Copies of this chain bind each other. A is one copy, B any other.
Amino acid sequence: MARRPTIKDIARRAGVSESAVSFALNDRPGVSRDTRARIRRVAEELGWQANSAARALSGERSGAVGLVLARPAQTLGVESFFLQLVSGVQEVLSAARTALLFQVVEDVDAECAVYRRWWAERRVDGVLVVDPRTGDPRPALLAELGLPAVTIGEPGPPDGPPVASGPQAGTGAPPVSSVRADDAGAMAQVVEHLHGLGHRRIVHIAGLPGLAHTVRRMESLRAEAERRGLGPDHVRSVVTDYSDAEGAAATRRVLAEPQPPTALVYDNDVMAVAGSAVAAELGIPVPHRLSIVAWDDSALCRVTHPRLTALVRDTAGFGRLAAEELLSVLAGAPTGVRESERPRLEPRESTAPAPAHTDS
């Protein structure tokens, strides 16, 4: 139950004033090299660490950033995406001695309430916003509060400005920073792959329709299909809530149609695995009668039999990028947009040439 040393202790031991200590420890001018070194040494000996509350109180940053995950409880937990992201985020943050406040809430309203609270309590210097939505209320709120933010996963190129950032297109720095993912390009890649294998009937088992990237993927799918002369009777999306249950149900439904698809693209790994179990149950061999692609790779995709072809992306890297952007904004840089790497399609055993007679 040791007492925590304070700046005063250091000052006494080093025979200088408290302010000299503060200057020395914060790399500010006003102390000689020697004194600075001496103070540093004493601080080290005492194992001093700045009291974060005191620091925050005297107008500095609080040294923490927040991340809220708005998911209904039951949707939670199986996707690997999130923890990977956080682990990337942390890598960058902890190097900058910044803490991460983490909250799980039920919906976006609750999320906004958390932002307000954090802001009022001065708990965080900025936030990372995940799951951008269409008509997202969050960037506006954050801009109003003046809480620096980075949105993670806004759909990026090739199609124009981000969906959620509002109307000031083109005019300098956006209201909040973002790290974008090339969902459209990735979808194009998937379509390319499947079309090249001869697939003409493709169904995209999409995630939540309110999320910006879901919309972008659906748009891209339609555009790519049209470019190849395939209409909505051949290629389309159906939406779900990302859960294994809805993924399975949607799979069952589309496979029961008179002209079932020969390829399915799932918006996450869990649904893809659920879907492949449904196929197994129905006695539909994968990949000979049905090809399956999972968006986001994880152990899951490698664990099933056959192993699933997946869009692999460096999720931790994505998190690092976001954390870096946030730190740079906190350090005073203008808001900006960073593009993450284009996901890579990793063909495994769940995709194969389309069965012969399915071009009706």
What is the interface of chain A, defined by CB distance below 8 A to chain B? 1-2, 4, 47-57, 62-64, 73, 76-78, 80-84, 86-87, 90, 94, 97, 99-105, 117-123, 144-146, 243-245, 248, 270, 273-274, 277, 280-281, 298-300, 302-305, 316
CB pair B2–A144 under 8 Å, yes or no, is yes
Q: What are 10 sample pairs from A and B whose C-beta atoms fall under 8 A apart?
A: A52-B53, A53-B56, A53-B62, A76-B80, A76-B83, A90-B105, A94-B105, A274-B303, A280-B305, A281-B305
Residues of B close to A54: CB separation below 8 A? 53, 57
* Whole-angstrom distance between the Cβ of A149 and the nearest chain B Cβ: 13
CB pair A244–B120 under 8 Å, yes or no, is no
CB pair A50–B121 under 8 Å, yes or no, is yes
* Whole-angstrom distance between the Cβ of A194 and the nearest chain B Cβ: 23
Residues of B close to A78: CB separation below 8 A? 78, 80, 298-300
Interface centre among A144, A281, A305, by most B CB within 10 Å?
A: A305
Residues of B close to A120: CB separation below 8 A? 4, 47-49
Q: Known contacts A1-B145, A4-B122, A248-B303; decide if A101 and B104 are in contact (CB<8 Å).
A: no
Q: Known contacts A77-B80, A277-B305; decide if A52 and B299 are in contact (CB<8 Å).
A: no
Residues of B close to A248: CB separation below 8 A? 303
CB pair A101–B64 under 8 Å, yes or no, is yes
* Whole-angstrom distance between the Cβ of A240 and the nearest chain B Cβ: 13
CB pair B101–A51 under 8 Å, yes or no, is no
Q: Given contacts A77-B82, A83-B104, A100-B101, list 17 more A-B pairs with CB under 8 A.
A: A2-B146, A4-B120, A49-B117, A49-B120, A52-B62, A53-B55, A57-B57, A73-B87, A76-B84, A77-B87, A78-B299, A90-B104, A94-B105, A100-B103, A101-B102, A277-B303, A304-B304
Measured in the bound complex, the distance between the Cα atoms of B248 and A78 in whole Å is 19
CB pair B102–A102 under 8 Å, yes or no, is yes
Measured in the bound complex, the distance between the Cα atoms of B2 and A145 in whole Å is 6
Interface centre among A2, A87, A280, A316, by most B CB within 10 Å?
A: A87
Main secondary structure of the interface of A (DSSP, over half): helix
Return the 10 tightest CB-CB contacts between A and B, nearest first.
A49-B120, A53-B56, A1-B146, A77-B80, A102-B102, A77-B83, A244-B299, A52-B121, A277-B305, A53-B57
Residues of B close to A94: CB separation below 8 A? 103, 105
Residues of B close to A48: CB separation below 8 A? 120
CB pair A121–B49 under 8 Å, yes or no, is yes
Residues of B close to A73: CB separation below 8 A? 87, 316
* Whole-angstrom distance between the Cβ of A313 and the nearest chain B Cβ: 13
Residues of B close to A57: CB separation below 8 A? 51, 53-54, 57
Measured in the bound complex, the distance between the Cα atoms of B80 and A83 in whole Å is 10
CB pair B299–A270 under 8 Å, yes or no, is yes
* Whole-angstrom distance between the Cβ of A295 and the nearest chain B Cβ: 16
* Whole-angstrom distance between the Cβ of A25 and the nearest chain B Cβ: 13
Measured in the bound complex, the distance between the Cα atoms of B121 and A316 in whole Å is 27
